[in-house]
Structure 1
Amino acid sequence: MDYIAFIAGLPEMARGEWKPPLSVFDFREQLKDYVREKDRQLLDLFFLPRDHVQVLRLLRKEKPDVLQTVFPLQVLEEEVIAPDDRIPAYLRHFITDFKEGHLEEGLLPENVLSWRYYDYLQQSGNRLVREYAAYSLNLKNLEVALNARKHGREIAREIVGANAFADALRASGSRDFGLSADYPYVEQVIATMELEDLVERERRLDLMLWDFLEEAVKFEYFSFERVLSYMLRLMLLERWERMSPETGRRVFMELLERFRQGFQFKDV
């Protein structure tokens, strides 16, 4: 299905200009009149990390956060009690394994859930979902590995996923983990991680995601993949647009603390 009319009406977005032309909420509201149910479910995949936060709080008997989740709070509360097929299989199995004490040893529950989430995305029938999940996972894992090595922590315990890229990060002791020949962007990430400004690091890594999303739909003008690419780039812009000087300082301190205490794997 083509999204000619919808895409033709979207405002332009410029790389490096961190002010979104519309909110993600407004984007999705406008899309409601065009989107197929199958495609809507694919878009929802990238908002599931909010459900992860809620599920973990519920499993730990903590008060739920006020979050715009894919699944209503009542559904998540019911799923934590008795998981069924209303939620994705990876999340259903995680809830069961958490309650039965069968999670992978040596990993934080948050990391286990991220691992299973990325595996789920990479099994999608949609090309862009699969490719973007693999690329963003590799970037995040490389960031984690470089930080762990810098601070003398065990890399293997902090890596998420089981693809060839993750396996190399766990096993190799070389400067580039033996990955640069097959993954040209590795050198760019290494250079970025050497910057002293932690916020600038985040911006440059997000620009790498932006460039990937633009390139992935370079020759697809009115497809669903073009819609998905636009939404994911809009999410990047919206995240940075919120950063007033005070917010930027808070984010800097959070990043600094994360690098001091050990990188906790962040979601999409």
Structure 2
Amino acid sequence: MGKYYCLIAGLPNIALDDSKLTYSISEFRQELDGILTKADKKLIDLFFLKFDNKNLIAHVKQPDRDPDPRGHITYDEFNALYKALKEEEKPPKNDRIPPYFKDFFKLYLENEGKENKQEIPWEDRLATLYYAYAMKNPNKFVGDWFSLNLNINNMLTAITCRKHGLDKAGYIVGDNEVAQALRTSNARDFGLGDTVDYLPDLGRIAEETDLMAREKKVDLLKWEWLEEHTFFKPFDIESIFAYLLKLEMIERWVTLDKVTGEKTFREIVGAMKKGSRITLNEFKAKLKK
């Protein structure tokens, strides 16, 4: 991994409450081209795989839909891999496609024709594979970041399920220690009080009735985590990765229509009270953005 003194020294200061974008995340990615080492570039690519996940699911549902340009894997590449696996041929060599996509397609083929019977949405299955892949990254900071996000999403989902009397076991994504505890424990702290130091903060955030404020508090918790975990790595790839993550948060808030956002969230929670599984999945999707 390299040291990026000039790059980081030249980056504008940013804050979560910024009302204008310094860079879009796509522009920042372009800024990094030709600067990062090959190994460090792979960490940035790992972040952007979330948009390839999104494109894959969208392509399955609407084959003619234009892909999100932030993803780099093309529909033709997805289709070539799927076709090879379906016909039990050797998949074409393609370093752009991570191994978890192959695992996803195999799982899909095993369940083809059983879509109405499978309980876990395909979005969640793909997310589980993505998180598992990312959390194994040899860069500890990056692996810990993905673990943090998985845990926050799962804990907020579990708290929401408990509040509305829904069975949380089917809504938890992943298989790490926190996910397993959330599925099985009925304790108030899910048995995680001694291992997850930010659980009390999440409990307070979950009580926030203004759902836009709640989302902002979640991002603030993540922002503070990034600050703490890059303090001693000011010119390393970890700080560049953190800057990208912060840009994503700002970009989301700058482009979010507050009125529309509040209306959508309240509709979701209102339907959740009626026990709607589909709506809970939509709610989880909002948390993952």
Query: Aligned in 2, Cα 1:202/1:79: closer, same or farther, shift over 3 Å?
Result: same
Structure 1 window deviating more from structure 2 (28-37 vs 219-228): it is 28-37
1:214 counterpart residue number: 227
What's the counterpart of residue 34 of structure 1? 35
In 1, Cα distance between equivalents of 2:21 and 2:60: 35
Residues 16 and 207 of structure 1 are in contact (CA less than 8 Å); yes or no, is this contact kept in structure 2?
no
Match of 1:185 among 171, 193, 198: 198
Question: Who is 2:50 aligned against?
Answer: 49
Q: Which amino acid aligns with 1:76?
A: F
Report the equivalent of 2:79: 77
- TM superposition shift of 1:257: 3.5
Do the aligned residues in 1 keep the contact of 2:104 with 2:126 (CA within 8 Å)?
A: yes
Q: Give unmatched runs, 5+ long, in structure 1.
A: none
Give the match for residue 226 of structure 1: 239
Structure 1 counterpart SS, 2:266: helix
Question: Cα distance, 1:65 vs. partner?
Answer: 3.4
In structure 1, the partner of 2:102 is: 92
Amino acid at match of 1:55: L
Distance across 2 between alignment mates of 1:79 and 1:258:
36
Q: C-alpha distance in 2, partners of 1:72/1:226?
A: 29
Structure 1 residues 59 and 96 mapped into 2: Cα distance closer, same or farther (>3 Å)? Answer: farther
Residue by residue over 1:179-221, the C-alpha shift from the partner in whole angstroms, topping out at 9 and shown as x without a partner, is 1222121111111111111111111001111111111111111
Structure 2 CA distance, aligned partners of 1:204 and 1:119?
Answer: 26
Structure 1 contact 55–80 (Cα < 8 Å) conserved: no
2:105 counterpart letter in structure 1? I
CA distance in 1 between partners of 2:267 and 2:53 (Å): 22
Does 2:73 match 1:66? no
Over 3 Å counting, the alpha-carbon distance change for 1:189 and 1:175 in structure 2 is same
Aligned length: 265
2:229 and 2:200 map into 1 onto residues whose CA distance is 21
Alignment of 1:126-205 (within 5 A): 126-205=139-218
2:202 & 2:192 partners in 1: Cα distance? 12
Q: Measure, in 2, the Cα distance between the counterparts of 1:194 and 1:40.
A: 39
Q: Kindly report structure 1 stretches of 4+ aligned residues shifted beyond 6 Å.
A: none
| Length-normalised TM-score, structure 1 | 0.91
| Cα distance per residue 1:229-256 (max 9 Å; x no partner) | 111111111111112xxx1122222323
Q: Are residues 25 and 98 of structure 1, via their aligned partners in 2, closer, same or farther at CA, if it must alter by over 3 Å?
A: same
Root mean square deviation, CA, Å: 2.1
